[in-house]
Amino acid sequence: MTNMNTALVPLFALTVLCAGAAVIDARTRRIPNRLIVVGLTGGALLNLATHLVSSGASLGGALALGGLSLSLGIVVCGLVPLALFRMGAMGGGDVKLLAVAGACAGPLVGMQIQLAAFVLGAAFAIVQLGFTGQLARMLDNALRLVLNPFRPPARRRPISGALLTSLPFGPAIFAATLLVTVAKGWIR
């Protein structure tokens, strides 16, 4: 197996995991912890095996590289989603799935997946709101969310709670993972 194929194995496995997470999230609005544990365990093993096969380093060196990539991937890919979770803007399963993406793919590719997921998630939300006729009200709410902190309390405009709904983010993470995996396969 060449280095190109070896590097894509964790991405293919991550894509399959994210496909399962997307289906479950779309149906239940939850990503089960057991799926996250399977992804993290499998991702860790694939990440370490990839470094062992492709680096040409000793077992200890490959394990050190793989462990560093795994750890940095989890931390780097988990920071922004964790902050969003703490603000109530993202679900916990989504945070964990993005951290697993970092563990499987490493910090750089994990961040590419994360950025693509945020862009695709925003696009999915805009399309869905457009189809339901709620896009204009949502944009008005977004403007209020941005401007209200800068207004005196007496001049703040209320925000419609009806449009502060959640959307499953798992499908966006899957689409982003698939997109990055295909791009990595073509670029190499």
User: Cα(148)–Cα(111) distance, rounded to whole angstroms?
Assistant: 31
* φ, ψ at 57 (rounded to 5°): -85, 170
Nearest to 50 by CA among 103, 109, 94, 10: 10
User: Cα(175)–Cα(113) distance, rounded to whole angstroms?
Assistant: 9
Q: What's the first-to-final CA gap in the chain, in angstroms?
A: 14
Asked if 20 and 35 count as a contact pair (C-beta separation under 8 A), the reply is yes
pTM recorded for the entire structure: 0.84
Q: Is 126 helix (H, G, I), strand (E, B) or coil?
A: helix
Tens place of pLDDT for every residue, the chain, 188 residues?
445 577 788 899 999 999 999 999 999 999 999 999 999 999 888 878 887 887 776 778 778 888 888 899 999 999 999 998 998 889 999 999 999 999 999 999 999 999 999 999 999 988 988 888 888 888 888 888 788 888 898 888 877 665 556 789 999 999 999 999 999 887 76
